[in-house]
Structure 1
């Protein structure tokens, strides 16, 4: 019997009241999703406080909270919490600011700001084993662990003295908003406290520590509001309490659900029926996986089925990552990225299914070209860059881009395949991967990875530049031993091998673009994929082409040829000299020897 993995579970209590004021301009909310979203997005709380001098303060607070809770869960599961939250909050601020500017020109006076849609916002997301805090204004988020209360935010107020202050940062005030963010590890039993300033400004920490010991958090939240009112608070009072009851194990079980416990599919054979698919033939056999061409028995669609190799079939981590390849393929909508068909009914084994693309790998495509076709090369590189851009927009790094992982079909359409090494920011928050150094193929992995640096968009760009170089030269930009150079000082001694040395059909300006894409220092590379693809097709006079290498570096074989020739000449001279000396040597006849003896 398989014991289910622990999941993220919390207990929550909330309470809000106008307090001593006539109207309550605070607003708060909570969303606890079910299923996969609980793992990929986590649990979110939000608390907003509308500016009391504005009739639109309450509307602003409600808009901020509802927008965050609805739009955060509408962002891609592949995005990190920070990317999702900050984009949602930024968009809300932009909308509110635009509403405030309607009919008022491009700037707001202080008085108009106070009358407009302006509010504070404090949000908390609990995902996997971490808490993510996003904060604008003078609300507060604190954590109670044991008998210690730790504030996780600071009030964005400017104090003038004499008890006077004003709000320095809030949603709706300016076109841009600065958001404080923080990520902290959590433990079971931790209690998070979100409060509006009418509560924490008047209550001591001891009051919150007492509330932390309550089993009924709703009652505890109400008790805190009552205590704040009794302590003389003149503001609205809102409290949210969240206690961590259980945490997942920092793996991908919550994401793949019951399929994580399925036995891995065994190696298949042509003609075999397998879970609603008719296996036709094997497409690829590697040390990590086997790929088969199959036909969906229900729809007739041809698909590719990947199963773990025999040696990796018992490794649950490898099985989960194989299944996540399909998860990635289903979420990237781009012509140049391999797709996955719609999910089917529950499976009996662990495997991945993607569309089948009939064509040649870029490695095969390049080998079949006897003449350099710069137009076709630029087209393919641009298509692959489009696929990479689609991955990067979802915060996915491929990490193993190489000629064997790009398929070109009969119509010349290129598609990126094989996401076994891909790093997804949103999933890395569930189960962090630290395998950058071993993720990709050695020849096409960026040099900084071998120094222990994390993968980045620029390391994917380096791989794309190396692929372009390979297509032109069937070689590598720094030779075959780059991965063996493991110090920064040694890397700085490396020299780019100009593609023009190996292929005279390559224009110098095109070579310069590739050289920049594969620069050893990531800071010297292009910032955007589109910049690289543009310079591949348009001469960029701002780029300096790669410097010609010394003669011996360009033609090292000539050194050995010269040495060999010199040795051969020296040997010939030595032999000739010896033979010449032997011809003048005097010889004594036997009769002369006899005379000498007498």
Structure 2
């Protein structure tokens, strides 16, 4: 378990008012596991009469709102979202006050924070406070001051909260270890205490961080500081061992249930129907006798009992489904009672898989394909907003009902940024190779661009019954090999597909992720509306669109020519 000792002290010094603000939050239980512990420091600027409000609000809201963000978000994403929200509030306060147009008199403050999660420490910094790390006897400054110097004696803040709409935050992450000490100080302290004194004071009060913070402030004041003074000292007493999904999701080592049949019961669930059964898993439609609702129970097969990666997929699926709220993504009911066996529970989604639907509708029209793909994209965007990648997008994992409403299922291969920070992921290609993005075959972790690639492959397949690179993507295990991949046009003489749509798909299917669309919504937009740049390009010749049809045509012309010559000869 992560264990910290935190001390802090602040003084107005010679000034009549203390414009500094500071605080920390060291939670327990799941909140410490998923969100970590936070320490924050803000310093109001001397030219403003309201900057003390800015610093107080910044620290208070950061320490409150950060811990309300999603468990699935990474620390940097969660913290940056909160800081940007605070920045917008400060800008709004200045805009609506008598200080509009005079940011140096408005709601402005510096801001620095540390978040400790598992064995990582993340820093967030704007302004001219400082964060140090003391490891052994080595003191390292982790931040730099955002100052612009007029001359050697005069400077002004170039970056702080409440100054710019597009706030720039210095963000860094690093491993921490037992015995590390982190020190946050305003300029009123560090400008009047040298590195040697900092080390001596902090080490000399190893078991009393509160006293160490006070001594840093008092030393700076005694050395002539005329500013407000604030110091915070954080000792890392212990870092947790490697976490497992068993610990994270709260699913203990339970026995794998036997194969169930209609009429059997597992906990409060009555088995109504066997939906799927294989050597890897068994899926049942069940009735929850407590809520009287139909849900789905999925259990691993007994043969997979020793496959931790396979079991982790079960642990993750229900955990994610309970946290992503979208009509396009399968959900999960709240767990009210402890399970007696190892299985996952998700909501029941009526309908058939898209794979089965395509067998029944082998050549769907373009508008229908667009309708389905747009809904799948909305499901992916809902996951991405939670910092989750699906990583196994394929027709078998998409359900469609009689009204053409789509639901994305099977979250077992999903990657969660907030969990990846303390779970070592295996270096394997996730999902199904024919739909997997090329970067996975290079050993990369993947991104939202990777889900975009898989969505584009599925779009291509629905329109053509083929794959854009055949099976070649899985064979390319180097960047050089991937550069040689040849995209096959989706255009077909037997299907009415606009030529510009081929360019849309080709961009989303670029082997290099950075050459794809910046966001999924842009890809979806261009599935409906031709990009002017694509319209300016000529329609590709038949030999590229359909080589078979081209050579059949050539052969037919040659046959006619031969017959004509024979006819002329025997006339």
Residue equivalent to 1:20: 14
Secondary structure at the residue paired with 1:259? coil
* Aligned CA distance change for structure 1 residues 267 and 503 (closer, same or farther; 3 Å): farther
Say which SS state the counterpart of residue 470 (structure 1) adopts.
Answer: helix
> 1:257 deviation in Å?
5.9
**How big is each residue's C-alpha offset from its partner over 1:129-186, in whole Å with a ceiling of 9 and x where there is no partner?**
1000000111111111111111111112233445333222211123232211110100
**Distance apart, 1:474 and its partner CA:** 2.2
1:48/1:279 CA distance change after superposition, 3 Å: same
2:88–2:165 Cα contact (<8 Å) kept = yes
Structure 1 residues 265 and 135: CA distance shift in structure 2, 3 A: farther
Change (3 A) 1:318 1:238: farther
Aligned residue runs from structure 1 range 309-348, under 5 A: 309-348=301-340
SS at match of 2:131: strand
- Per mean C-alpha deviation after superposition, the further-off stretch among 471-480 and 178-187 is 471-480
Structure 1 counterpart of 2:195 = 205
SS of residue paired to 1:500: coil
Partners of 2:158 and 2:518 in 1: CA distance: 34
Within the candidate set 473, 497, 500, 1:482 is matched to 473
Equivalent residue number for residue 432 of structure 1: 424
Structure 1 position 238, deviation (Å): 1.3
Hey, what's the Cα distance between the residues in 1 that align with 2:74 and 2:494? 43
Deviations 1:279-331 (A, max 9, x none): 23332234543322211111121111122233432344543442121111111
Structure-2 separation of matches of 1:492 and 1:122: 43
Equivalent residue, structure 2, for 1:584: none
Name 2:110's counterpart in structure 1: 120
Structure 1 or 2, whichever has the larger Rg, is 1
Q: Is the 8 A contact 2:132 2:140 kept in 1?
A: yes
Q: Given the alignment of the two structures, is residue 357 of structure 1 paired with residue 349 of structure 2, yes or no?
A: yes
SS in 1 for 2:322: helix
Give the 5 Å matches for 1:61-140: 61-102=55-96, 108=101, 112-140=102-130
Q: CA RMSD in A?
A: 2.5
The Cα of 1:253 is off from its aligned counterpart by: 5.1
Map 1:84-483 → 2, pairs under 5 A: 84-102=78-96, 108=101, 112-210=102-200, 211-213=202-204, 214-252=206-244, 256=248, 258-435=250-427, 437-483=428-474
**Cα–Cα, structure 1 residues 261 and 191, in superposed 2: closer, same or farther, change >3 Å?**
farther
Task: Say if 1:36 and 1:255, in contact at 8 Å, map to a contact too.
Answer: no
Provide closer, same or farther for how the CA distance between residues 469 and 267 of structure 1 changes in structure 2, counting only shifts above 3 A. same
- After TM superposition, the structure 1 stretch with the greater mean CA deviation from structure 2, 137-146 or 315-324, is 315-324
Task: Tell me how far apart the structure 2 counterparts of residues 550 and 525 of structure 1 sit (CA, whole Å).
Answer: 26
Q: Look up the match of 2:561.
A: none
Of the candidates 38, 41, 47, which is equivalent to residue 53 of structure 1?
Answer: 47
In the alignment, the residues of structure 2 paired with residue 545 and residue 335 of structure 1 have an alpha-carbon distance, to the nearest angstrom, of 40
The answer to whether the Cα contact below 8 Å between 2:464 and 2:492 also exists between their aligned partners in 1 is no
Structure 1 range deviating more: 287-296 or 542-551: 542-551
- CA 1:254 to 1:451, structure 2 compared with 1: closer, same or farther past 3 Å? closer
Q: Which consecutive residues of structure 2, in runs of 5 or more, have no partner in the other structure? A: 556-571
Q: Does 1:517 align with 2:508?
A: yes
**Of 247-256 and 408-417, the range deviating more from structure 2:** 247-256
Q: Which of the numbers 484, 488, 499 marks the counterpart of 1:493?
A: 484
User: Are the counterparts in 1 of residues 22 and 41 from structure 2 also a CA contact under 8 Å?
Assistant: yes
Q: Does 1:44 align with 2:38?
A: yes
- Seen in structure 2, the aligned counterparts of structure 1 residues 198 and 286 have a Cα distance that, compared at 3 Å, is farther
- In the alignment, is the contact (CA less than 8 A) between 1:294 and 1:305 conserved in 2? yes
The 1:244/1:266 distance shift into structure 2, 3 A limit, reads farther
CA distance in 2, matches of 1:424, 1:153: 29
Structure 1 residue 455: Cα displacement: 1.0
